[in-house]
Structure 1
Amino acid sequence: MPTPSSLDGLIAKASAYLTPEQVELIQSAYEFGALAHQGQTRKSGGDYIWHPVAVAEILAEIQLDKESLIAAILHDVVEDTPYTKQDITERFGESVAEIVDGVTKLGKLEFDNPQEAQAENFRKMILAMARDIRVILIKLADRLHNMRTLGVMRPDKQRRIAHETLDIFAPIAGRLGINAVRIELEDLGFKAMHPLRFAVLEHAVKKARGNRKEVIEQISETFYNRLSQDKIPCQVIGREKHLYSLYKKMKNKRQSFNDILDIFAFRIIVNSADDCYRTLGTVHSIYKPLPGRFKDYIAIPKPNGYQSLHTALFGPYGVHLEVQIRSETMHEVSEHGIAAHWQYKQENSEADGTPSHVDLRAQEWVKNLLEIQQSAGNSLDFLENVKIDLFPDVIYVFTPKGDIITLPTGSTPVDFAYAVHTNIGHSTVACRIDKKLVPLRTPLESGKTIHIIKGTEAQPNPSWLNFVKTAKARSQIRHYMKNQQSGEAIALGQRMLTKSLRNFNMAYDGLTDEIRNHLIEELKFRDWEQLLEELGTGNRIAPLVAKQIHDIVLGTEDKIGPKNADMDVALPISGTEGMVVHFANCCHPIPGDEIVGFVSTEKGLVIHRETCHNIKNIRNQPDKCLDVQWDKTSTATFLAEVQIEAKNQRGTLATIANAIAKTNTDIERVRSEDKDETYSLMQFVINVRDRDQLAMVLKRLKNLSIVEKVQRL
């Protein structure tokens, strides 16, 4: 249980890097907070004030500025006591009050769905981070102290909080480069989620530690002595992987504990980047490096600002060694990440307010999250998208101008295009990797130069969602599709309503504002466009809405619009309506076929051939059927499926494909299987303008000597 000695610990840690005047302000904040929280206690026992003091002490360990420590002490004051933001502003200044306000706004909202609550709170966290990154640092410290005292909670609540910690808070700490906090959050979360596994693994590590200690000391001494001979001042630290890291490695790689423990890890800390590269040469001269295991994060830092040289070596006794080489400054950034920025402000040339490279990377990430947030449909979509970015195994690729773009492993040229700029992503048509043309779904590799080819009329393809990896690409494609579909749905909805109104001898243009407003109010829509969109996407049935309009008009006969005797005109279909009109895959209708429309709540308007075997089910729902006809001016192409029975011999497929190509017809896809030893069955899906072009294709195929039989499916 926290005790008053926590205040002594906070003051001691703050005094190590802050001025006496600043420490005095922290003492004053404690007195203000203690008075505000007087009489309040925590479930773990003791006065409530010791929780915010413990949070501030965690931040003092990573040497955050005085405003952060004061805000940490006061972070629950506005939410849990009668004091207001104005009271804090008057006593400790605007900056502290804004940080406290940001933390306060991360409080829980009431939701029926726990996942929705978690997602909405996460969205609020990102918005607060955008205003001041220190808000999330206080929230991380708050979560860390809560995890340290989690034992007083019910087991089910422990597991829920631990799951959220491992799912969101630990990855955020890692993304911001605060490894000391991330590691402790992961181990505490692991312990609460899987207490038995944690205990077994902890016991196994302690048992193995004795056997490993001598080997680690011997190798550390070898490194230290050789580097001293080369006049490179250094610290050599033999280290152990933390328990959650071991658990994940065993689980993901399906390895036993002994296999994981075969790897010995060392960290060598030197004075400068130049010494890092000299040290690398020295350790490679002591033990042979493993091929393909060297990574230079100094030349190309990780997205969170992390810098270090990583190498793997064949060590003595057949063991593998993992070695990280970094300067003291790099080590500080590795442990404290974005929090190290405030330390640099205290003493480095960045005291003029210029952000460090760590701070810039954090700001870039938060800016990227804001873009995703603005284009996400809801909080759950946002959380799902961002989780992709919270677990980045990264690659580094180059723009044609030599700029480095960092992407998750498995990213494609489309991810790269959106990472450069949203408009470039939207207009992507092709890609060259190292000057070689490749498909857009090609996974990128580190070190390659990517050149995106744009088209002036290009637009995102829905199929890209099947292979893009980054949250930004996924959210921007969905956002574009949603807007595009909305516009198409409104246009189609208007056409469907126009046709249905004719059956009541009414014209769409004759609807007055009074009639429209009456209907919008009755159906509880935001505006007229939303009603048309619902019609276009199939969520509302046009004939029923037309009937409601007719009933409204009957009640206001003097305001009836102009009548139209053209009663039952079929809705024209051109094939260029976009995503709100779908052509059924079961029958592949093309111009020239007799067709019928079916209004689906999932796909909008679906077009079938009159002879389709699925039409019987559709005819049972007359309110959802729609008379449609082909637009004679259509220039679009449509899919048709053709089955060919041909002789099973070499070159058959090529001969048939060549014959189809000679009719200026594109092949969409093909499937082939042996019917028997003599014949093969082939299904071709082709793009045709109408039945006339399809007839020409069938005629040419029938004239081939190798074709026994051909038919449209």
Structure 2
Amino acid sequence: MIKVDDLIQLVRNYNPKTNQQLIRDAYDYGKAMHEGQLRHSGEPYFSHPIAVAAILAEQKLDDATIVTALLHDTIEDTRSTYTEVAEQFGREIAELVDGVTKLTNLQLSSSETKQAENFRKLFMAMSKDMRVILVKLADRLHNMRTIKSMRVDKQAQKARETMDIYAPLAGRMGMQWMREELEDLAFLVLNPEGRTSIMRRFITLQKESGDVIHKITNDIRFELGKQDIEAEVFGRAKKPYSIWRKMEEKGQGFSRLSDIYGFRVITGSEVDCYRVLGAIHQRWRAVPGRFKDYISQPKSNGYRSIHTTVSGRDGKRVEVQIRTVQMHEVAETGVAAHWSYRDGVQVENPFAVDPAKWISGLTERFEAAEDHGEFLEHVKLEMYSDQVFCFTPKGDVVKLPRGATPLDFAYAIHTRIGDSCVGAKVDGIRVPLWTRVKNGQSVEIITAEGQRPQATWLDIVATGKAKAAVRRSLREEDRDRFVRLGRELSRVAFEHIGRKATDKALTTAARQLGLADAEELLARMGSAEITARDVLETLYPELATIEGEEIDQSRAVVGLSGDQTFRRAPCCQPVPGERIVGITYRGQGVVVHAIDCPVLSDLEDQSDRWVDLHWHSGRHPAVHTVTTDITIRNDAGVLGRICTLIGEQKANISDLHFAERKPDFYRLLIDVDLRDAEHLHTVMNALEAESDVASLERVRDVDRKP
């Protein structure tokens, strides 16, 4: 475990003016809070926050970020609270720690609807302070470096989440080194045989051809010396996962893969960058289509560099990246360069992008998303795709993701241009609409009145904006037909499970799926964008089987001292999954309240009685009673169907009381035993979809105080 003096020295190396006492206090506080906690490896848990802080210190980040790393798990996993952190370390650091805590609770690899909502929360957190994401990425990197101590199933889950979400996010933020390491660590878990195979072939290649990197590096230095160009030259073999991905994309074996070596030339000025390019192209033959000038057309995250691929020594293809020292700093740390320090002063790097502008540009493209699927499409295109730059006939630049077509280009200009597109010219030559555009090409769109988007266009376009526009046009054109078809599909699907596709059921499903109304739901079903199974599972989800043993109810709540007992407050009836707080009562132990319980307002001035609590993560038994107030139609068999419906959701009715009996309706108070908040949502959702249910609400009675 890194000692506090060693950590402080790491920070002092780039920031001699660092607040040493602040870091020392955070170190001591975090160590005390995590006292007695162990990692899966058996090491003291606090070794993890220290390692995260060291990773961020290597990026030369500010004191607030380093301190946040030391404290990032305290609110989540210890008795520490936001208020306590704010009092000791200031509101800025408390906000950062709280932000990391909220990110930790996001399930980014869950179902599409929940994943889209959590991605929205992720970008919201980024918009408030991007240092939250920097700490979270460093947290994930250290967890991946030490993943072997976790259960095998957990390793696979974390590795897949890293490969799908965190590695692309690091790349999108310009932190390419972190992206490559995260990908390679995840690759080691997900496909160890594939990675071992790549490494063996590397060793064989080195034996056959010698130290190629050293030879080519010397060749480049020799050519630069002839031109009197001062520059640093570095060479490296690409990461195993990067090579594996190229093999998969190109369908080639290792022996046929050429550009497995990469070289960087770091110069003193932008002018020298182009002089280096000229020297390299004079000495070696450039590979057509492999030249990119990100100096004249920077990426949105501030990345600037010249990329070229040449046929080097013995005909081997090598990629060369050429950039200045300042450009290299941004290339290494990406958006994080905004907070970098040197000699105690925040670095004024002219190429470092303003994080506020960067995240604003990133999120504004998501705001127009109509539904969860479209939003996720925007996110994945933005995070996972490289970009190409094309020109209009007037010379304006249009930025598109790699793999985009002239149709994407047309929709990027204006939806009207895309809808009426009948053809395109690329560099003056007529091309099919499915042609993939390349960097630097000039694209001219040919339009005609009366033209409408075709269904086949969905297979041609690559951008979320274009796909959404095409779908919208197709829906409007065929809406009546799709609604009729959707109504028939829903009727058959509901009858198959013994229910009716009532307007109320369809409206409830539409609301849960984030759609405007039942007609929109039917149109989506008719156009095959939403399946009947999606609708049924939204209304009547079978409770998923959760692996592992049920949590012992005596330890369902985390944050109590060894001799404290607890019980749920009868006024708000909190259930696992909801935010909670404990209140001590003389002779009654700790009473657990929901964080929004009205009773708490009467106890604000008695802070000594408050206990910071949270539910134990895992599978809880269905023993948490919640009272529901439900009004149903007074008709034969209705009450029986309601009780059966609750049972079908694997919930038990522990008590039932008639509050009102009228000729037309009954109002009942039903106590239902539930597992957690998701279980409650499932039961309420199923009941609301029933046409015989007039109203339904959860009872929270302040008169039932502890």
The 3 A distance-change label for structure 1 pair 23 and 233 is farther
How far residue 276 of structure 1 moved from its aligned partner, in angstroms, is 0.8
Describe how 1:283-298 pairs up with structure 2 within 5 A. Answer: 283-298=280-295
Aligned match of 1:377: 372
Out of 41, 46, 59, the position equivalent to 2:43 is: 46
Out of 13, 17, 23, the position equivalent to 1:26 is: 23
The 3 A distance-change label for structure 1 pair 63 and 461 is farther
Is the CA contact (8 Å cut-off) linking 1:53 and 1:73 kept in structure 2?
yes
TM-score by length of 2: 0.62
**SS where residue 194 of structure 2 aligns?**
helix
1:395 aligns with 2:388: yes
Aligned match of 1:558: none
Aligned match of 2:307: 310
Describe how 1:142-153 pairs up with structure 2 within 5 A. Answer: 142-153=139-150
1:74 aligns with 2:37: no
For 1:407 and 1:117, locate their aligned partners in 2 and report how far apart those are by CA, in whole Å: 28
Is the CA contact (8 Å cut-off) linking 2:404 and 2:462 kept in structure 1?
yes
Is the CA contact (8 Å cut-off) linking 2:258 and 2:317 kept in structure 1?
no
- Paired letter, 2:372: G
The 3 A distance-change label for structure 1 pair 73 and 458 is farther
**SS where residue 367 of structure 2 aligns?**
helix
1:87 aligns with 2:80: no
Aligned match of 1:280: 277
Aligned match of 2:62: 65
Is the CA contact (8 Å cut-off) linking 1:187 and 1:242 kept in structure 2?
yes
Aligned match of 1:594: none
Aligned match of 1:661: none
**Deviation string, structure 1 residues 260-305 (Cα, Å, up to 9, x no partner):** 3675432211111111111112222333333443322211223433
Is the CA contact (8 Å cut-off) linking 1:176 and 1:362 kept in structure 2?
no
Out of 146, 155, 159, the position equivalent to 1:158 is: 155
Is the CA contact (8 Å cut-off) linking 1:432 and 1:452 kept in structure 2?
yes
For 1:246 and 1:492, locate their aligned partners in 2 and report how far apart those are by CA, in whole Å: 47
**SS where residue 321 of structure 1 aligns?**
strand
Describe how 1:614-629 pairs up with structure 2 within 5 A. Answer: none
Aligned match of 2:267: 270
Structure number with bigger Rg: 1
Is the CA contact (8 Å cut-off) linking 1:303 and 1:361 kept in structure 2?
no
How far residue 525 of structure 1 moved from its aligned partner, in angstroms, is 8.6
Out of 298, 301, 315, the position equivalent to 1:301 is: 298
For 2:248 and 2:69, locate their aligned partners in 1 and report how far apart those are by CA, in whole Å: 37
For 1:456 and 1:104, locate their aligned partners in 2 and report how far apart those are by CA, in whole Å: 54
The 3 A distance-change label for structure 1 pair 444 and 533 is closer
Aligned match of 1:574: none
Moved more, 446-455 or 382-391: 446-455
| Larger RCO (CA under 8 A, 6+ residues apart) | 2
- Paired letter, 1:405: V
How far residue 343 of structure 1 moved from its aligned partner, in angstroms, is 2.3
Aligned match of 2:222: 225
1:405 aligns with 2:402: no
1:101 aligns with 2:102: no
1:254 aligns with 2:251: yes
Aligned match of 1:357: 353
For 2:471 and 2:58, locate their aligned partners in 1 and report how far apart those are by CA, in whole Å: 42
Out of 362, 379, 382, the position equivalent to 1:386 is: 379
For 1:522 and 1:461, locate their aligned partners in 2 and report how far apart those are by CA, in whole Å: 29
- Paired letter, 2:7: L
How far residue 432 of structure 1 moved from its aligned partner, in angstroms, is 6.8
For 2:306 and 2:168, locate their aligned partners in 1 and report how far apart those are by CA, in whole Å: 22
Is the CA contact (8 Å cut-off) linking 1:337 and 1:358 kept in structure 2?
no
How far residue 253 of structure 1 moved from its aligned partner, in angstroms, is 2.4
**SS where residue 276 of structure 1 aligns?**
helix
Aligned match of 1:468: 461
For 1:390 and 1:366, locate their aligned partners in 2 and report how far apart those are by CA, in whole Å: 10
**Deviation string, structure 1 residues 603-639 (Cα, Å, up to 9, x no partner):** xxxxxxxxxxxxxxxxxxxxxxxxxxxxxxxxxxxxx
For structure 2, the residue ranges without an aligned partner over 5 or more in a row are: 488-501, 533-632, 636-706
Describe how 1:266-665 pairs up with structure 2 within 5 A. Answer: 266-343=263-340, 346-349=345-348, 356-357=352-353, 359=355, 362-364=358-360, 366-368=362-364, 370-371=366-367, 374-377=369-372, 382-399=375-392, 402-419=395-412, 443-450=436-443, 464-475=457-468, 478=471, 530=517
TM-score by length of 1: 0.62
Aligned match of 1:607: none
- Paired letter, 2:367: E
**SS where residue 395 of structure 1 aligns?**
strand
- Paired letter, 1:252: E
For 2:506 and 2:224, locate their aligned partners in 1 and report how far apart those are by CA, in whole Å: 82
- Paired letter, 2:159: A
**Deviation string, structure 1 residues 354-413 (Cα, Å, up to 9, x no partner):** x933747742553245326x53335xx543543233332432112466442321233134
**SS where residue 105 of structure 1 aligns?**
helix
- Paired letter, 1:404: V
For 2:463 and 2:132, locate their aligned partners in 1 and report how far apart those are by CA, in whole Å: 25
How far residue 158 of structure 1 moved from its aligned partner, in angstroms, is 1.2
For 1:24 and 1:456, locate their aligned partners in 2 and report how far apart those are by CA, in whole Å: 71
Is the CA contact (8 Å cut-off) linking 1:413 and 1:441 kept in structure 2?
yes
How far residue 55 of structure 1 moved from its aligned partner, in angstroms, is 1.1
**SS where residue 372 of structure 2 aligns?**
coil
The 3 A distance-change label for structure 1 pair 18 and 422 is farther
- Paired letter, 1:377: H
For structure 1, the residue ranges without an aligned partner over 5 or more in a row are: 495-517, 541-551, 555-713
**SS where residue 357 of structure 1 aligns?**
coil
Moved more, 15-24 or 150-159: 15-24
How far residue 31 of structure 1 moved from its aligned partner, in angstroms, is 1.8
**SS where residue 32 of structure 1 aligns?**
helix
**SS where residue 286 of structure 2 aligns?**
coil
1:245 aligns with 2:242: yes
- Paired letter, 1:386: V
Aligned match of 1:129: 126
How far residue 533 of structure 1 moved from its aligned partner, in angstroms, is 6.0
How far residue 47 of structure 1 moved from its aligned partner, in angstroms, is 2.1
- Paired letter, 2:391: F
Task: Give the percent of matched residue pairs that are identical in Structure 1 and Structure 2.
Answer: 41
1:179 aligns with 2:176: yes
Aligned match of 2:630: none
**Deviation string, structure 1 residues 330-349 (Cα, Å, up to 9, x no partner):** 22222211112222794554
- Paired letter, 2:399: T
Out of 199, 203, 227, the position equivalent to 2:196 is: 199
For 2:271 and 2:521, locate their aligned partners in 1 and report how far apart those are by CA, in whole Å: 64
**Deviation string, structure 1 residues 664-701 (Cα, Å, up to 9, x no partner):** xxxxxxxxxxxxxxxxxxxxxxxxxxxxxxxxxxxxxx
**Count of residue pairs brought into register by the alignment:** 510
**SS where residue 465 of structure 1 aligns?**
helix
Is the CA contact (8 Å cut-off) linking 1:130 and 1:366 kept in structure 2?
no
